[in-house]
Amino acid sequence: MILGRLSGVLAILTGAVSGQAAQRYCDPVTSICYSGWTGGNGIWIGVALPSTTTPAFDTALQIISPIANGWVGFSWGGTMPYVPLTVGWVNTASNTSIYSSRMAFGLSLPQPFDGAEYSYLQGTGYNKTHWTLNVRCKGCSEWHDVDGNLASIDPNGAAVKFAYAYARLAPREPANNRSTFNSHTKFGHWNLDLTLGQNAKFNQLIAANLVPDALKPSSSGVPTSLPTSVRTSTLTSVVPTANPGPIQTGIPMSCSGVSALHFPTLTVDGWKATKVAGGLTQPRGVIFDTAGHLLLIQNGLGITGHTIGSDGCLTSAKTIITQRNLNHGIALSQDGKSLYASSATTVFAFDYDSATMSINGSSRAVVTGMDNRGHVTRTLTIPPKHPNLLIVSHGSNDNFDFESGNMKVGRSSIKAYDMTQVPTDGYNYASGGQQLGYGLRNSVGLAFDSDGMLWAVENSSDEIHRGTVDIHVDNPADELNFIGDPSKENTQWYGYPTCYTVWKPDFITDRVFSVGDQFVMTPNDTFSDDTCTQTSVPAKLALQAHSAPLDVAFNKNSTRMYVTFHGSWNRNPPTGYKIAEIQFRKESTGLFAPSHFVNSTAGYKDIFWSPDVEHCSTTQCFRPVSIVRDKYERMYVTSDSGGEGELIIFGRV
Ligand SMILES: *[C@@H]1O[C@H](CO)[C@@H](O)[C@H](O)[C@H]1NC(C)=O
Ligand SMILES: *[C@@H]1O[C@H](CO)[C@@H](O)[C@H](O)[C@H]1NC(C)=O
Ligand SMILES: *[C@@H]1O[C@H](CO)[C@@H](O)[C@H](O)[C@H]1NC(C)=O
Ligand SMILES: *[C@@H]1O[C@H](CO)[C@@H](O)[C@H](O)[C@H]1NC(C)=O
Ligand SMILES: *[C@@H]1O[C@H](CO)[C@@H](O)[C@H](O)[C@H]1NC(C)=O
Ligand SMILES: *[C@@H]1O[C@H](CO)[C@@H](O)[C@H](O)[C@H]1NC(C)=O
Ligand SMILES: *[C@@H]1O[C@H](CO)[C@@H](O)[C@H](O)[C@H]1NC(C)=O
Ligand SMILES: *[C@@H]1O[C@H](CO)[C@@H](O)[C@H](O)[C@H]1NC(C)=O
């Protein structure tokens, strides 16, 4: 019984893995034969290829979907990030269905991808019940993976892993193949026997079925939601003035040449937010260099550098590093000479010159061997009191990463590495470095209090049950955790993937809990809720379930902590899309701690938020990611909303 229940839950969590076995199917319209699969929600997907033994080869893809699906996506690499994706949907403006070529550079809105070239084939269109997309793809059988290595599909593979996803909602601008769209309603992966999809006369069949250009669905080619004018001005206009740096402590009313915030936002009395840049490519981590320039990770692009005017607005922009796998983590050594940035698998070090905002020479890998599945962002930070250490936070590789409960696996873990003693090939994440806690599902936000102690905010699991009862809407709490002195080994377990924190006790009916208590999903004779209390470090503060905290920053004297809530898909209505303030105090132990106890839901208050949060999504509303504070206690905060990548300056007025 328990097994059956568990596997049922797992199927929901990891997406359906099974479905029906692949079959060979020859399309009556084109005579192209596909290895095909009938998957979730009535979607048919077929892959066709030539009789060949080696990549790269052209492929054909057929997607037939019930008309009710807003979009269907297909992954040529069986996972979401860093593989070619084909997304299809109906475009009623041209009476047909269209493809959109994409690649995701994280678990975020896939970007238009020009590494694959598509042509429409006969049969593309729709009727009252279904839409059909038939395309030939050049560039879908071989691509560069997250590490820049060639990855390819085995044309004779008997079980080649693919993935699909679909959403109920249609893309925002169905006539535009660069449109933004919302996150998937469901996804899954399965295997295809590609020998069933081989066609001896592939090229002739394709040639006979190509749809002439004139009949191609329309495409504006211009992403109206990513204003190119803004992008151009922020990325290329370097104003050749000496950098005076910010001298005022206020927040500017507006910044010249910068459009208004893409979505409405509100701030509490006494605070103000002003947009300083828009049209950014999924902006994530942000830091200052030692000359006061702002350095920004733009996921899928690289690192850009920005000078700041006396009013806090940005006065210039330049691309410092073009490297599309840099996806979040960024840190600068205290002397300003070593710039660190991370991909899913690797932390790179660059020799950096703050005066010219440039790197010298190529990068060195200083930490390697990290996972490329699941939560692919890493967070990097350097303790102010221990400038030789580089701290790297590594999330789980799935919603439930059971292996990570073993500390040696080196996931759901924070570690510190001595940058003065880096081995020639870099540290291996799991076997090198010093542990700073594990059992931390995805502690993206890290900050040091003014005593130099490390704090982490934890983005907890989706799809949580208690026994057979679905309690996910308001549980588990996201967490604020105390990690402690970053120079001292910390082998404590913080509970994931077994012990979770209660947010809404009422949802759990078999036991009386308070907010902040720990619980297990399925208590048994050897592991109960009380086992958590005895073995796992509790959170210092519970945060609303699924608010998805991604960064934290203290004020100067550590009486306040600021936290960005990115918002997440696993709650209806949504929550997050805001910045909150947590009150801190010095305890009798001499350590800082939140002013409220873990059993309180009043431990933080919103200071910046999105009105009508029930309408927020991955493409709607400001989605705060990372914070960097300047010396006037103002914060620069990134938003990687699919609607527009933005940067604001935010502070007291
Ligand atoms: C789409 O179909 C309708 C009805 O058949 C027709 O009136 C319209 O002109 C068509 N539009 C295009 C762009 O072909
Ligand atoms: C959109 O369509 C045009 C031509 O119809 C094509 O050149 C372009 O690559 C497509 N873009 C995407 C993102 O699919
Ligand atoms: C609509 O298209 C689907 C998929 O091609 C097909 O199975 C179905 O028979 C079509 N319906 C009609 C009424 O033509
Ligand atoms: C760049 O690095 C090389 C090799 O380490 C060094 O000789 C050169 O002076 C550096 N250039 C700058 C501008 O720092
Ligand atoms: C009891 O629960 C623990 C924690 O969830 C789990 O690791 C263990 O396998 C379970 N034991 C049995 C017999 O199900
Ligand atoms: C944060 O957690 C939510 C679950 O609430 C999940 O959907 C999302 O992918 C997570 N994001 C990160 C960056 O961990
Ligand atoms: C901490 O700094 C804030 C300003 O950020 C100030 O209002 C407050 O009085 C300070 N508190 C202490 C205990 O120094
Ligand atoms: C919350 O926790 C504190 C400290 O443990 C305790 O003093 C207080 O009584 C608790 N409040 C409630 C409502 O349980």
* DSSP calls for 69-120: -SEEEEETTSSSBTS-EEEEEEEGGGTEEEEEEEEBSSSSPPEE-TTSEEEE
Q: What is the 3-state secondary structure (H, E, C) of 157-215?
A: CCCEEEEEEEECCCCCCCCCCCCCCCCCCEEEEEEECHHHHEECCHHHHHHHHECCHHH
Give the model confidence (pLDDT) of 100-120 as tens digits.
999 999 888 999 999 999 999
Task: Write out pLDDT tens, residues 615-639.
Answer: 999 999 999 999 999 999 999 999 9
SS3 422: coil
- Atom 14 of ligand 5: nearest residue by CA position: 524
| Closest ligand 4 atom to Cα of 353 | 14
Average pLDDT over residues 241-262: 79
For residue 246, name the pLDDT band (cuts at 50, 70, 90): low
Starting from the CA of residue 560, give the closest ligand: 7
Quick one: pLDDT band at residue 569, thresholds 50, 70, 90? confident
Residue 529 has pLDDT above 70, yes or no: yes
Task: Look up residue 139 and give its DSSP letter.
Answer: S
Instruction: Say whether pLDDT at 219 is over 80.
Output: no
Of the candidate ranges 3-7, 177-181, 200-204, 367-371, the one whose mean pLDDT is the lowest: 3-7
Q: Using the predicted structure, report yes or no on whether residue 650 has a pLDDT greater than 70.
A: yes
26 pLDDT band, cuts 50/70/90, is: very high
- Contact residues for 333 (Cβ-Cβ < 8 A; gap 6+): 339, 340, 382, 387, 419
Q: What are the pLDDT digits (tens) for 415-436?
A: 999 999 999 999 999 999 999 9
Confidence of residue 224 (pLDDT cuts 50, 70, 90): very low
Residue 650 C-alpha to ligand 7 middle, in angstroms? 18
Arithmetic mean of pLDDT, 221-242: 33
Distance 114 CA to ligand 6 centre (A): 28
pLDDT for 477 equals: 98
CB 79 within 8 A of CB 130: no
Considering every ligand atom shown, identify the ligand nearest to the alpha carbon of residue 134 and give its number. 3
94 lines ligand 1 (CB under 6 A): yes
**Angle at CA of residue 599, ends 595 and 604, nearest 5°:** 45
Say if CB 327 and CB 106 are below 8 A apart.
Answer: yes
The pLDDT score that the predictor gives to residue 578 is 98
Say whether 614 sits in a helix, a strand or coil.
helix
- What are 124-133's pLDDT values in tens digits? 999 999 999 9
- Dist. CA 573 → ligand 1 center (Å): 38
Only one residue has tokens 């006539």, namely 175
Which atom of ligand 2 is closest in space to residue 178's alpha carbon?
A: 13
The band of 243, judged by pLDDT with boundaries at 50, 70 and 90, is: very low
Q: How confident is the model at residue 539 (pLDDT cuts 50, 70, 90)?
A: very high
Work out the average pLDDT over 584-593: 97
| Predicted pLDDT at 248 | 66
Beta-carbon count within 10 A of 388 CB: 15
User: What is d(CA 178, CA 182) in angstroms, rounded to the nearest whole number?
Assistant: 13
Q: Is residue 125 in contact with ligand 1, taking CB distance under 6 Å?
A: no
- Among candidate residues 579, 572, 647, the one with its CA nearest the CA of residue 183: 572
Q: What is the rounded average pLDDT of the residues 22-50?
A: 94
* 42 pLDDT tier (thresholds 50, 70, 90): very high
The confidence band for 371, taking pLDDT boundaries of 50, 70 and 90, is very high
| Joined tokens for residue 642 | 């699919």
- Average pLDDT estimate for 70-86: 96
Residue 526 near ligand 5, beta carbon < 6 Å: yes
Q: Is the CB of 514 under 6 A from ligand 8?
A: yes
Structure confidence by residue, pLDDT tens digits, 305-325: 999 999 999 999 999 999 999
Q: What is the mean pLDDT of the chain?
A: 91
Give the binding-site residues of ligand 7, using a 6 Å CB cut-off.
Answer: 555-557, 559, 633
Closest residue by Cα to residue 615 from 166, 90, 264, 186? 264
Task: Please give the average per-residue pLDDT across 29-42, as a whole number.
Answer: 92
Evaluate whether 477 touches 534 at the Cβ level (below 8 Å). no
**pLDDT of res. 238:** 35
Which tens digit of pLDDT belongs to each residue from 179-216?
999 999 999 989 999 999 999 999 999 999 999 754 45
Q: What is the pLDDT of residue 107?
A: 83
> Per DSSP, what are the bridge partners of residue 100?
87
